[in-house]
Structure 1
């Protein structure tokens, strides 16, 4: 995020580079930088003659270069934005001659999503030398809650750890999807609100009581009744609660529990660091470790691997609901 802020700050201060090569698995920041350039480098009056948006599937690299070599009309800059440039991955190195002789009055933006340039090749080296090469890396699941906190702090909001975890479990690590939901919440809720699970349930539609976080907690506490209530809820809402996802999240949970058993230093800070969780949730692992000794945890991981295969339709004769009920019985007995 700091690198993105610096790029935007430089553009805001009139120091736009002649080429921006925006690449990587996480499209959110690629779109943010590209959109900022599209909206702010030229005035509305200048955009008509001097700004162009191209799409990788519709143009060649040679056509991009031809447009980039145009001189601006009644403006200081020409802005050329190439979206979906990953469709040009086989020919993208043909940009090298242009980057070696950049048109200083042009701002060329290449949106190269879900791929990266080969750092050993010439284009990466010279684009880095004369412009900006930005790699937008996908966040790990345990980093997303912190990202949510930073985004909301910037808008004068806060979010409880459980509420953040609910969002991550429901939406995954796709920052664009999460950002859209945060936009909704900050539009509805007054500034200064501490967003809690009830807000998530009311405004986004994720149940605060029947979700994968609550299932893991019920399993960890060996609360058989609560765990089965959640499984029954999942069976009635299969699209929102796919079995494959539930099994995967339980597997992650017990893998973390295995790691917990292996730690010599079980202080809250060290557990949070090694398990990649908020200190807020450490006590849940302490309680679960009492209910599931290391030998049992290893056995449970075996059960989960079997269930994962069956949930994908391999050798499965049970319904998804019965599969989860059978799995819970094995885990909790």
Structure 2
């Protein structure tokens, strides 16, 4: 029976309850969920002794489709089922030949195909057969605005609480790499004081190296509050720590903030709730747009977007006479706040 359009949580629950499909095809740009499902199959369905005989792990760059099919046709030795996992399937040729196996998949085999960083053409017959015989799961990359909610949900699953600022720090610094974010939260959990379950900005600063005082979120806050001293202190820190805070990473984030501010000026309701809904952002961040709109009107926001574009171009050598990052930052801050 086809099992498609299921969430990764539902697929994992089904696997843990032994509601198994003969074939799992896991594909997409986000490897985190593919690894999660594959690991549950690899480590939870067979015990250690069974895995020695009835688990086969193949890699696309080191094998061919005939070897995969032959492995899937074998009979288990020490357990009711055998598991065959093909990792890095995006590197294997002639995947369409799976169609021969899919016509009569072995009832004693659980075949798992991990196809990362892309998808296959759903119009092909073998993919249609795959959807009928097994589970096809597409793991899509999350967008940046979805990360705060994901981080909060992941932390909750580990019985952890995060300060709102801590969530923003992790989002800004780690981006949308789910594996990296999960690993960092797991590390923080280990380093937490006994009896505590709260992740704070201070804990992040001590253990991950993200500064709670010198980051883009704090720079935006300084600009919104027209705090010249704080804004210049932060950009000086950026300029002195280029490796951790490259200008090519800072300016796009500033541009994104002021681009949204421009849109905010034309929302029918200029409230934090309206901003959160429109930009699909955490309510904690949405409050900043209400305050920023009071500091920068629509015309000033247009000029600021131009200043950021100009600074970005000059940082790349366009119409620049060798001015360094620190001076570029200072010019930009002056233009924004005056």
Q: Which secondary structure does the structure 2 equivalent of 1:57 belong to?
A: helix
SS in 1 for 2:268: coil
Change (3 A) 1:100 1:243: same
- C-alpha spacing 1:184/1:291, structure 2 compared with 1 (3 Å): same
| Counterpart in the other structure of 2:205 | 201
Q: Does 1:168 align with 2:148?
A: no
Does the 8 Å contact 1:19/1:130 carry over to 2? yes
Find the counterpart in structure 1 of residue 324 from structure 2: 319
- Give the aligned partner of residue 94 of structure 1: 97
Paired with 1:173 and 1:231, the residues of 2 have a C-alpha distance of: 24
Work out whether 1:104 is the aligned partner of 2:104: no
Segment drifting more, 191-200 vs 201-210: 191-200
Aligned residue in 1 for 2:145: 142
Instruction: Report what 2:257 is aligned to.
Output: 253
Superposition RMSD on alpha carbons, in Å? Answer: 1.7
How many Å apart are 1:2 and its aligned residue? 7.5
In 2, Cα distance between the equivalents of 1:2 and 1:128? 12
Residue 313 of structure 1: CA displacement? 4.5
Q: Which residue of 2 aligns with 1:331?
A: 336
Output the CA distance in 2 between the equivalents of 1:162 and 1:13: 38
Note if 1:30 corresponds to 2:27: no
User: 1:120 maps to what in 2?
Assistant: 123
For residue 17 of structure 2, what is the aligned residue in structure 1?
A: 13
What is the CA–CA distance in structure 2 between the aligned matches of 1:104 and 1:322, rounded to whole Å? 68
| Partner SS for 2:62 | coil
1:183 pairs with 186, 193, 197, which one? 186
TM-superposed deviation, 1:286: 1.5
Q: Does 1:300 align with 2:304?
A: yes
Supply the distance in 1 between the matched residues of 2:233 and 2:305 (Cα, whole angstroms): 22
Q: Hey, what's the Cα distance between the residues in 1 that align with 2:318 and 2:59?
A: 41
Please give the alpha-carbon distance, in whole angstroms, between the structure 1 residues aligned to 2:195 and 2:81: 38
Task: Assess, with a 3 A threshold, how the Cα gap between structure 1 residues 311 and 147 changes in structure 2: closer, same or farther.
Answer: same
What is the alpha-carbon distance in structure 1 between the residues aligned to residue 316 and residue 37 of structure 2? 39
Q: What is the CA–CA distance in structure 1 between the aligned matches of 2:225 and 2:208, rounded to whole Å?
A: 28
Determine whether 1:276 maps to 2:280: yes
Give yes or no for contact 1:215–1:227 (8 Å, CA) kept in 2.
Answer: yes
Q: Displacement, 1:183? A: 0.2
